[in-house]
Amino acid sequence: MKKIMALLLAAVLCMALFGGCNSQPSSQQSAGGGTSGGETEGEEVTIEYWQYFYETKVNLIDDLIKEFEEANPGIKVVHQNFPYDSYQQKLAAAIAAGNGPDIVNIFYGWVPEYVKNGVLQELPTDAFDPATMEAEFSPMIKVNKIDGKYYTIPTAVRTSALFYNKDLLEAAGLTEADIPTELEEFAELAGSLAQWDGDEILVEGCTWQPNGQYHSWLRPVLMNQFGGTPLSDDFKTAQWDSPECLEAFNYFIDLNTKYKVGVNGFMNADADAFAAGKAYFHVDGSYRVGTYQSQIKDFEWGVTELPAKDGVKGSCGTYWTNGITAGTSGAELDASVKFLQFLTSEEVMKRWTQEIGEIGARNSITEDAELLEDPIMKPFIEAVPYATSYFYVNETDDRQIMLDAIDQVILQGVDRQTALSEANDRVQALLDGYWND
């Protein structure tokens, strides 16, 4: 049955999702307390779990599979992983050949397209009750609720926060206590700290590179903090050009044009600029922590919450999430459900937080005293309940639309309202193409 379903899906997947098969492009406890049926007694059931290659994730999944198999002797889990750049291509080719995975780990921004093209099946509601998921998991999972259904569930999520260079602040006579907690005051301080030699910036007050993580800070974090919502609640209407979203857009542009905190392209990448000690502040995700801990040796750094707007906190939530492919049925489906229940248990999530640096997706993780003792991870963990995610119809195209709008203003002098309105029309076309097709 699995192979037949895979073959039926192959053509649609290859053409609509990837533009052709040769294109390139982290205890068994269910969310709802339910269980799926069991495998046939006396027979071993084999399922496959796929993810992209990230060494620490690969190693941890291998260990978790051993523990799961010991607790479930009738189930064998085969773990496959592939380089990120070829991951989606490998998935398309495997489904076309009828031997794709039973469980796939994908970026949350890919989910709508995978659902549209029939790659994923709805999670069994007896094991993953939507109401229970929404009560127990980070609110950001709701961005992947499509037509009232959940097709994936994450083990961990990532939030964003403000990195700061302790040495640079100390040299300026400042400490963490002096970092503003409100957006306007933050812009003023970051602007005053930036070091320029004529038109050349030497040290950024805050990194400012839209194609890094900053487009995600602008959309949806800043837009929400300024009282707007970039998309309607049903994700079918673009609202980038509302007065509130325009105000957020203006703030972001002003960081560059008015406050001159930093520039696009400084030291190639914003993360590199901070790692080189050439920026006081940097907005980035929790996934950056491990890299900086091994990379930065020449100065002390810390992390604090992103600045608020009139007391409204904000953080960008992203995650990789697990779904069961449409061709999985029978004993393989039952085994896949059990493995997903295991991967999304609180015990596994805590271990994932400690070993990977991503944050367990259950709200209970944010109350874990042991995890909160880590001063670097604490701001990220505390942001889980209020972090917001953005619904991507096509992640690459949506990001480029925002980058184009910023370039229109900065490089071409286009009126900000005009640039944002044109961008809004392009996003609406993406949404219409998804929902109306």
Pick the residue with more confidence: 365 or 12? 365
29 — pLDDT class (breaks 50, 70, 90): very low
> pLDDT category, 15, cuts 50, 70, 90?
very low
What is the predicted pLDDT for the residue at 97?
81
Q: Which residue has the higher pLDDT, 283 or 34?
A: 283
Is there a contact between 238 and 220 (Cβ–Cβ < 8 Å)?
A: no
Q: What class does CATH assign to 160-316+393-436?
A: alpha beta
- Residue 206: pLDDT band (50, 70, 90) is very high
Q: What are the φ/ψ torsions at residue 72 (nearest 5 degrees)?
A: -135, 75
For residues 285-306, average pLDDT: 93
How many whole angstroms separate alpha carbon 433 and alpha carbon 437? 6
Q: Is the predicted pLDDT of residue 38 greater than 90, yes or no?
A: no
pLDDT at 73: 95
Domains 2-143+321-374 and 160-316+393-436 share a fold: yes
User: Which of 258, 290, 298 is closest to 357 using CA atoms?
Assistant: 290
Tell me what the mean pLDDT of segment 46-73 comes to.
Answer: 96
3-state secondary structure of 362: strand
Residue 374: pLDDT over 90: yes
Given a cut of 80, whether residue 40 has pLDDT beyond it is no
Is pLDDT above 90 for 413? yes
Domain ranges of the chain: 2-143+321-374, 160-316+393-436
Amino acid at position 185, single letter: E
Q: In terms of pLDDT, which residue wins out, 276 or 8?
A: 276
pLDDT of residue 42: 62
Secondary structure of 218-277 in HEC code, one letter for each residue: HHHHHHHHCCCCCECCCCCCECCCCHHHHHHHHHHHHHHHCCCCCCCCCCCCHHHHHHCC
Burial class for 383, CB neighbours closer than 10 Å (0-12, 13-18, 19+): buried
Give me the mean pLDDT over the 285-291 stretch.
89
Cα separation, 419 vs 196, in Å, equals 29
Question: CA-to-CA distance for 172 and 23, rounded, in angstroms?
Answer: 50
Closest CA to 26 of 71, 62, 60: 60
Maximum separation of any 2 CA atoms in the chain, in Å = 76
The class level of CATH for 2-143+321-374 reads: alpha beta
Query: What's the mean pLDDT when you consider all of the chain?
Result: 90
Amino acid, single-letter form, for residue 435: W
Give percent helix, percent strand, percent coil of the chain, each to the nearest 5: 50, 20, 35
What does the pLDDT look like over 113-156, one tens digit per residue?
999 989 999 999 999 999 999 999 999 999 999 999 999 999 99
